[in-house]
Amino acid sequence: MRQLDSPDTKRPYVRRLFATIADRYDFITAFLSYGQDARWKRRLAGLSQAAPGMAALDLACGTGDIAFALADRGARVAGLDITPRMLRLARAKRRDVPLVAGDMMALPFRDARFDIVSTGYGIRNVPVIEPAVAEIARVLKPGGVFLSLDFNRPANPLVRAVYLSYLTIVGSILGFVLHRDSDTYRYIPESIRRYPGAAAVSAILRTQGFRSCEHIPVLAGLMAIHVARK
């Protein structure tokens, strides 16, 4: 996919893609996670230690699952996504969480605003990871926590090849069945090929001002949850 070869082409491609798949987003995340996606998001919310009085921001909030899980723990949550249709779908689920259209690369919030920043499948989709992480660090309070759930990029070449081949085949079938376009969900394996992987993202978080970072393997390491403290 040449659309992913540079930030200038990735940005508009990802925007168009998520506008296209928004109405199928919940189904796809459940299908590709073997029904585990909701449980992983609840686990992320638990790792955040969100509590009443805390301010939280969920980035690339999609249809709102993580934002709502944090709100259920008592946090004052805002959700941000670049796709208006995703936000409309989230508002149809519940209306007690403020949602705003915006870009992870330029967050419309003041410095040190939040105790918690989270994202599900967000870091892999930004045009460039480092500026997005710098923005996250900017809006976090000192001592605040950042949490991210995403696909991992397996280090073992054989495991990686099998994993990406599987996602390519399944994605092609789903794309054709749901959108009459077999390329639609090929974005997932192609984005993973270009993703540095969980360990490298941890290193980026440290260089961008996070004093500690761990990544927790999920689904035998095919997924990961990052927990980083500013």
Domains, the chain, with CATH or none: 2-152+197-229 (3.40.50.150)
Q: Give yes or no for a contact between 45 and 65, defined as CB atoms under 8 angstroms apart.
A: no
| Model confidence band, residue 101 (pLDDT cutoffs 50, 70, 90) | very high
**In the Cβ-directed half-sphere of 145, how many Cα atoms lie within 13 Å?**
16
Percentage of residues in the chain having pLDDT higher than 70: 100
Each residue of 13-43: pLDDT tens digit?
999 999 999 999 999 999 989 899 999 999 9
**Tokens encoding 81:** 């996504």
Q: How far is CA 61 from the centre of its chain?
A: 8
**Tokens encoding 217:** 């393997």
Mean pLDDT of 110-128: 97
Identify the pLDDT of residue 61: 98
The region that residue 145 occupies, defined by phi over 0 for left and psi between -120 and 50 for alpha, beta otherwise, is: beta
Identify the pLDDT of residue 183: 87
Identify the pLDDT of residue 140: 98
Answer whether residue 1 shows pLDDT above 90.
Answer: no
Q: What pTM was estimated for this model as a whole?
A: 0.95
Mean pLDDT of 51-62: 97
Compute the radius of gyration of the chain from its Cα atoms.
17
